[in-house]
Chain A
Amino acid sequence: MLKEYKTIERIAGPLIFVKKTEPIGYADLVRIQLPSGEIKNGQVLDTSRDTVVVQVFEGTSGIDRETKVKFLGENIKLSVSKDMLGRILSGAGKPIDNGPDIIPEKRVEIIGAAINPYSRSSPSEFFQTGISTIDAMNTLVRGQKLPIFSGSGLPHNEIALQIARQSKVVGEGAKFAIVFAGMGITNEEAQHFMRDFEETGALERAVVFLNLADDPAVERLITPRMALTAAEYLAYEHDMHVLVILTDLTNYCESLREIGAAREEVPGRRGYPGYMYTDLASIYERAGMIKGRKGSITQFPILTMIGDDITHPIPDLTGYITEGQIVLSRELHRKGIFPPVDVLPSLSRLMNSGIGPKKTREDHKQVSDQMYAFYAEGRDLRGLVAIVGEEALSDRDKRLLRFAQEFEEAFVQQGSREDRSIQQTLEIGWKLLSKFPKRELTRISNDFKEKHWKGQE
C-alpha cells in the first residue's frame, strides 16, 4: 500500500516540495490528486531524507497545500504495443483520438539506456526521401540523425510531411513506420499534420504523440522520450525501420530552461541549463542500428533557429551531436522556391557510406560534388556581379551564374507532392551539368561523362 502525503511545503513554478517519511527513489513517478479530484503526474527531481522536489507535468495550477501526493516507486513508463500504429496519443502517451485504450504488450521505461557503442552497426543504407536536395546532396542514411535547421515562418512542417509521405527504405520486405512527436506545436499545426496524415494514409503506419502549445511545458520534456521508446519497441522488437520526426526541438529546449530556472540552477549560455548538451544527446543518440537486429531508428528532428542564428545554443549543441544538418534559407523561400534547402551550409556526415554503386548510383558522389562546387562558385559570383556587372564576366563565369539560378529553379525547386526517385534527381543534375563543356567538369571522371553528359561540344 502506497502512502499518501498531504505535506506540500512549497509550490514554485512547475515544482512542488513535499515533506515525507519514507525514502523516495530519485526519478520516481508521482501521482498528485487535487481536492477537485483532478489527477496530475510528476517526477522526483531531488530526494533527500526529509524533502522531495517534484516536477509536475501538467503544471501546478490548482495545486494547494491540501493536495494529496503519492509516490509510485517506479520510473515513468510507456505502454507499448503494435496496436499503437495508426493512433494519436497525448504528449504523455494517452490516446486522444477517441479510440479504445491501447492494450499494452509491455511497459517500458522511457528513459532509454545508452546503446553500447560496441553493439552499434555502422549506418550504410540509403534512405530515399524523394527530395532532391536531400537525396542527392545531403543523403540520409538509415540509422542517422539529421536535423532540419529552420526559422520562424519557413515551411519546415511541409517538408516534414513530405518526407513522412514519401520516405522509402530501399530494400525488399522492409517494414516501415513513422513516429511523430509534436512538442509545443499550435493546435492549427497539429490539425494540419493530422489531416495530412489521414488523407495520404500515412497515419496507418504512424504513431503520433502531440504536446500542444497550450499543454504544460513540463510534459514537453517527456514527449520525445515517449516517442523514442515507442520507436525502439517497433524497431528492435518488431524489426521495423522507423523514421522519427521530432518537432519543434526549440520548444523542448525552452521548457528545459523553464524547469532549470524554477529549480534555481546556475544557468549556462543564454540562460539554458549547463546540461542541455547531455540532455539533447540522450534524445538524439537514440537513433541508430544495432548489430544482429533488423530494425533501425532514423531521426529527423526539426528546430527553428531563434533569429535565424545558427550559433544560438539550440542549433549549436544540436549540430555537435547530430550527423549533419539540413539548413533552410529565408532567401530561397522569398524567391518562392520549395523546399528552400540551402545546400551550402547543409551537410550529411554519413552520406559517403550510403551512396554509390548498388546503393544509389556509381556517379552519385561525383555529380553531387560537381554541382556543389559550381553552385558555390555561382553564388559567390552574384556578389561580384552586383559590383562590376555581368558584362565584365568571362564565359565560364556567366555559365556558373546561370547554373546557380537553374540549380535553384529546377533542382532545388520541386512540388510538395513531387516524389523524385534518386535516378530522376541525378538525371536533372546531369541536364544542368551538360550545359558546361566536358573539360570544365573537373570533378567527374571521364567514363561517367561519356555515359551521362548530353551537351554539345
Chain B
Amino acid sequence: MEKGTLYRIAGPVVVAKNLKARMYDVVRVGNEKLMGEVIQIDGDNVIIQVYEDTSGIKPDEEVINTGKPLSVELGPGLLTSIYDGIQRPLPVLKNLMGDFIKRGIDAPGLDRKKKWDFKPLKKKGDKVSGGDILGEVEETEGIMHKILVPPNAGGKIKSINAGKFTVDEPIGELDDGTHLMLMHTWPVRKPRPVKQKLPPITPLITGQRIFDGFFPLAKGGVAAIPGPFGAGKTVSQQQLAKWSDADIIVYIGCGERGNEMTEVLTEFPHLTDPKTGKPLMNRTALIANTSNMPVAAREVSIYTGITIAEYYRDQGFSVALMADSTSRWAEAMREISSRLEEMPGEEGYPAYLSTRLAEFYERAGRVIPFGTEKEGSISVIGAVSPPGGDFSEPVTQSTLRVTKTFWALDAKLAQRRHFPSINWLTSYSLYLNQLAPWFKESVSADWSDAIGSSMKILQEEDKLLEIVQLVGSDSLPEKEQLTLEVARLIRENVLQQNAYHEVDTYSPLPKTYKLVKTILHFQSLAQGALGRGIRIKQIMATRAKDNIANAKFERDYEKLLSNVVAEMEEEFNKLG
C-alpha cells in the first residue's frame, strides 16, 4: 500500500504529499484512519475529501492509499437496512459508538455473520458471463434476491453448492479460479453496464391521483419535484416510497432532517405494501445522511444509492429511487468545490454541476441487463429545494433539462391546505403520449380523453379566476359559472388527496378514473340543463354532487359513485 503524509487540513478537504494515487482512490487519513477519497491531483499535491470530521488532525500524519475506488457491497441484506452515505449500517454504528456518530470506525455494509439459504440455478460445467444469475436467496419474505456473476467476471463453473452461506463464504468457483460469493463490490461512481437501454412504456403507478392521472412517471423515467420549504416535498417523496408499484425502493435522505428519517424508520415496518400485503420495509433500503453529518459523505450518498438501485435492476426488478434532496447534494459539491478554490459557475456552484446532475439521472432507465432476458428499470424521483422557492436557480434548471416529468410544488397551495400541493398548471409530464396506450389497454379506452377534458377545465378556470378577482363570480355568464363549479369538484375530489387518511392515501387507477368520469358526467348533465334554460343557481343547489367527496374516503367507492350518478340524474330530471 502506498503511503504519503498530510500537508494541509482545512475542513473536509485535506492535502497530502508524496502519495502515489489515482483519481477517486479511497485513502485512509491520519492516525485515526479517517476514510477519504482523492478528488484532485496537482503536481505533488493530492487533494482528498474526507468523509468524517477532521478536527484535531495534524500535518505530517500519515495517509495510506488503499488503491481501490470507493465501492459498495452488493448482496443479500441490503433491503431493510439503513445506511449512512458511505454504506455503514447505522444500527451497527450505534452498537459500536453509541448514540452519537463518532469517527474512525469502519463497519462493513453487509452483515458478515448472517447465513443465507442459497439455491443454485446453474450447475457445474455451465458457461457463465458477467450478470448471469447463479442462483437465488430469499432476502426478505417474498423477495427472491438473484445472485449474479460480477459484471467483470465469467467462465466455466468449476463448482457450485447449495446450502447456507454468509455473504463472503465461497459458494463455488469458476475455472479461472475466481471464487463465487453471495456478494460482490462495485465502484459507486461507475454505472453498472447493461446490454441494452429501452424506452419506457409502462407507468410507475403511485396511487396518487395527480401523479397517475395528470403527470405520470414511466417506469425507468426521471421526475423532479422542486418546491420551497413547507410545500410538502418530503411528504410527497414518502408517499411515493410507500405506494409506488416498484419491486424495490431505495430512499436517500440526503442532507435532510434527522427526525424525518426516524419517522420513515418507525413507520415503514408497520405499513403494508398494497401489492403484496407484506411490510413495506421488506422492499426498502434506506440511506440517511442527515444535514449535520459530514458533507463529503453527503456528496457520495447519492452514488451509493443509485449503485444499489442498479444492482437490483440487474436482477430484473423495477426499482424506484427517491433522492431527498438533490439540492443538498449540489450544495455539498459546491462546498467541496469552493474549498478546492475552483472557478465558480452560477451562484457559486461548480461549472460541472449540470454534467454531474445529468450523469446521475442518466443512470435511470428501462434496460435489459446482461445475463437475463428479463428487463429491469430504475425510476428516479429527485426532490429539489430551490432557495426562496425560485425555480430559476441553477439546480432546478439543470435538473429540468434532464428530467421529463416535472412536479412543481406550490407554497400557495400548501398554505390553502391543498395537498398534495402540486401546481397543475406549471407541472408537466413528457411521458403522456408514450404511456397513453398502456392506460388505454389497462384502465379504459377513454382515459386520455377524460384526463384531457379535466385539464382543459382547470386551465379555463385559471383564466376565469382572474376576471372573478375583479368583478366577483356572480357577474360571469352562467356557462362559465358552471365551469368554475366543475373545476372546484376536480380540484377538491381528484387533485386533493389526504396522505394521512387510511383509505385516501392510496387511490387505485380505476378509482381515479371513476372519480373523473363522475365529475365529467355532472358537467354534461349540467350543460344540458343550462341549454334547457335552467338557472345556474338551481344547478348549484343540487346535493348529489357533494357526495362525490365521500368516495375518496370509501373503500367501496364504486357503489357509492354509482349511487351518486343515479341521484344526479334523478335531480336533473326533476329540474326539468
Bind each other: yes
Complex interface residues of chain A between 68 and 121 (CB less than 8 A to chain B): 74-75, 111-121
Q: Can you list 30 A-B contacts (CB < 8 A)?
A: A27-B55, A28-B55, A48-B59, A74-B56, A113-B53, A114-B101, A114-B290, A115-B258, A117-B253, A118-B91, A118-B265, A119-B98, A119-B100, A120-B261, A122-B259, A122-B262, A265-B338, A268-B334, A269-B387, A275-B331, A277-B291, A278-B331, A284-B291, A285-B258, A293-B99, A313-B387, A317-B387, A321-B257, A323-B259, A324-B230
Complex interface residues of chain B between 34 and 56 (CB less than 8 A to chain A): 53-56
Q: Interface residues of B, CB < 8 Å — how many? A: 66
Give the CA-CA distance A74 to B102 in the complex, in Å. Answer: 16
Contacts of B331 in A (CB 8 A): 274-275, 277-278
Known: A27-B56, A117-B258; 4 extra A-B contacts, CB below 8 A, are A24-B59, A115-B100, A319-B228, A319-B229
Q: At the interface, yes or no: B68 with Cβ under 8 Å from chain A? A: no
Q: At the interface, yes or no: B320 with Cβ under 8 Å from chain A? A: no
Nearest opposing residue in chain A for B472, CB measure: A388
Q: At the interface, yes or no: A316 with Cβ under 8 Å from chain B? A: yes
Contacts of A118 in B (CB 8 A): 82, 90-91, 93-94, 265, 288
Nearest opposing residue in chain A for B342, CB measure: A266
Stretch from B7-15, B217-225, B433-441, B526-534 contacting the other chain = B7-15
Contacts of B87 in A (CB 8 A): none
Residues of A within 8 A of B (CB): 23-28, 45-49, 53, 74-75, 111-123, 143-144, 265-269, 274-275, 277-278, 281-282, 284-286, 288, 290-291, 293, 310-313, 316-317, 319-321, 323-325, 344-345, 347, 350, 352, 369, 372-373, 376, 384, 387-388, 392
Give the CA-CA distance A111 to B54 in the complex, in Å. Answer: 12
The one of B58, B295, B385 that contacts A278, using a Cβ cutoff of 8 Å? B295
Mask, B290-330, CB within 8 Å of A = 1, is 11110100000000000000000000000000000000100
A25-B58 in contact (CB<8A): yes
Contacts of A266 in B (CB 8 A): 338, 341, 344, 348
Q: At the interface, yes or no: B61 with Cβ under 8 Å from chain A? A: yes
Q: At the interface, yes or no: B420 with Cβ under 8 Å from chain A? A: no
Contacts of A344 in B (CB 8 A): 415
Q: Is the interface of A mostly helix, strand, loop or mixed?
A: mixed
Contacts of B470 in A (CB 8 A): 387
Nearest opposing residue in chain A for B385, CB measure: A320
Contacts of A122 in B (CB 8 A): 259, 262-263, 266
Complex interface residues of chain B between 1 and 43 (CB less than 8 A to chain A): 7-11, 15
A316-B262 in contact (CB<8A): no
Give the CA-CA distance A277 to B256 in the complex, in Å. Answer: 10
B417-A123 in contact (CB<8A): no
Contacts of A144 in B (CB 8 A): 259
B295-A275 in contact (CB<8A): yes
Nearest 9 interchain pairs by C-beta: A311-B388, A281-B291, A48-B8, A23-B58, A113-B100, A27-B55, A118-B90, A319-B229, A285-B292
Contacts of A24 in B (CB 8 A): 58-59
Nearest opposing residue in chain A for B415, CB measure: A344
Q: At the interface, yes or no: B390 with Cβ under 8 Å from chain A? A: yes
Question: How many whole Å from A329's CB to the nearest CB in chain B?
Answer: 14
Given the contacts A285-B292, A392-B472, A117 and B415 also touching, CB distance less than 8 Å? no
Contacts of A316 in B (CB 8 A): 228-229, 387-388
Contacts of A45 in B (CB 8 A): 10
Question: How many whole Å from A137's CB to the nearest CB in chain B?
Answer: 12
Question: How many whole Å from A288's CB to the nearest CB in chain B?
Answer: 6
The one of B7, B266, B328, B500 that contacts A277, using a Cβ cutoff of 8 Å? B328
The one of B56, B97, B230, B344 that contacts A28, using a Cβ cutoff of 8 Å? B56
Contacts of B344 in A (CB 8 A): 266
A372-B230 in contact (CB<8A): no
The one of A26, A49, A111, A319 that contacts B7, using a Cβ cutoff of 8 Å? A49
A117-B229 in contact (CB<8A): no
Question: How many whole Å from B497's CB to the nearest CB in chain A?
Answer: 16
Given the contacts A319-B230, A388-B472, A116 and B55 also touching, CB distance less than 8 Å? no
B292-A281 in contact (CB<8A): yes
Contacts of B266 in A (CB 8 A): 122
Contacts of B255 in A (CB 8 A): 277-278, 281
Question: How many whole Å from A374's CB to the nearest CB in chain B?
Answer: 12
Question: How many whole Å from B301's CB to the nearest CB in chain A?
Answer: 12
A373-B417 in contact (CB<8A): yes
A285-B257 in contact (CB<8A): yes
Q: At the interface, yes or no: B400 with Cβ under 8 Å from chain A? A: no
Given the contacts A46-B8, A277-B328, A285-B257, A116 and B90 also touching, CB distance less than 8 Å? yes
B338-A117 in contact (CB<8A): no
Nearest opposing residue in chain A for B263, CB measure: A122
B61-A23 in contact (CB<8A): yes
Contacts of B100 in A (CB 8 A): 112-116, 119
Contacts of B60 in A (CB 8 A): 23, 49
Question: How many whole Å from A298's CB to the nearest CB in chain B?
Answer: 12
Contacts of A313 in B (CB 8 A): 387
Contacts of B191 in A (CB 8 A): none
B335-A26 in contact (CB<8A): no
Q: At the interface, yes or no: B450 with Cβ under 8 Å from chain A? A: no
A115-B348 in contact (CB<8A): no
Mask, B245-286, CB within 8 Å of A = 1, is 000000001010111011101100000000000000000000
B259-A26 in contact (CB<8A): no
Contacts of B265 in A (CB 8 A): 117-118
Nearest opposing residue in chain B for A280, CB measure: B291
B59-A23 in contact (CB<8A): yes
A121-B262 in contact (CB<8A): yes
Contacts of B11 in A (CB 8 A): 26
Q: At the interface, yes or no: B353 with Cβ under 8 Å from chain A? A: no
Contacts of A372 in B (CB 8 A): 417
A119-B99 in contact (CB<8A): yes
Contacts of B451 in A (CB 8 A): none
Give the CA-CA distance A300 to B332 in the complex, in Å. Answer: 27
Contacts of A74 in B (CB 8 A): 56
Q: At the interface, yes or no: B416 with Cβ under 8 Å from chain A? A: yes
Q: At the interface, yes or no: B57 with Cβ under 8 Å from chain A? A: yes
A48-B15 in contact (CB<8A): yes
Nearest opposing residue in chain A for B546, CB measure: A442
Question: How many whole Å from A179's CB to the nearest CB in chain B?
Answer: 18
Give the CA-CA distance A410 to B135 in the complex, in Å. Answer: 70
The one of A25, A46, A285 that contacts B290, using a Cβ cutoff of 8 Å? A285
Give the CA-CA distance A267 to B266 in the complex, in Å. Answer: 39
The one of B257, B261, B290, B291 that contacts A323, using a Cβ cutoff of 8 Å? B257
Give the CA-CA distance A406 to B493 in the complex, in Å. Answer: 31
Give the CA-CA distance A285 to B290 in the complex, in Å. Answer: 9
A288-B259 in contact (CB<8A): yes
Give the CA-CA distance A370 to B415 in the complex, in Å. Answer: 14
Contacts of A113 in B (CB 8 A): 53, 100-102
Complex interface residues of chain B between 495 and 518 (CB less than 8 A to chain A): 500
Contacts of A269 in B (CB 8 A): 347-348, 387
Give the CA-CA distance A245 to B407 in the complex, in Å. Answer: 37
Given the contacts A269-B387, A320-B229, A119 and B259 also touching, CB distance less than 8 Å? no
Contacts of A282 in B (CB 8 A): 292
Question: How many whole Å from B106's CB to the nearest CB in chain A?
Answer: 15
Most buried by B among A28, A266, A376: A266
Give the CA-CA distance A48 to B98 in the complex, in Å. Answer: 33
Q: At the interface, yes or no: B151 with Cβ under 8 Å from chain A? A: no
Contacts of A388 in B (CB 8 A): 472
Contacts of A278 in B (CB 8 A): 255, 291-292, 295, 331-332, 335
Nearest opposing residue in chain A for B99, CB measure: A119
The one of B8, B9, B90 that contacts A117, using a Cβ cutoff of 8 Å? B90
Question: How many whole Å from A409's CB to the nearest CB in chain B?
Answer: 22
Contacts of B91 in A (CB 8 A): 118
Contacts of A23 in B (CB 8 A): 58-61
Q: At the interface, yes or no: B389 with Cβ under 8 Å from chain A? A: yes
Contacts of A25 in B (CB 8 A): 9, 55-58
Question: How many whole Å from B109's CB to the nearest CB in chain A?
Answer: 15
B347-A26 in contact (CB<8A): no
B262-A47 in contact (CB<8A): no
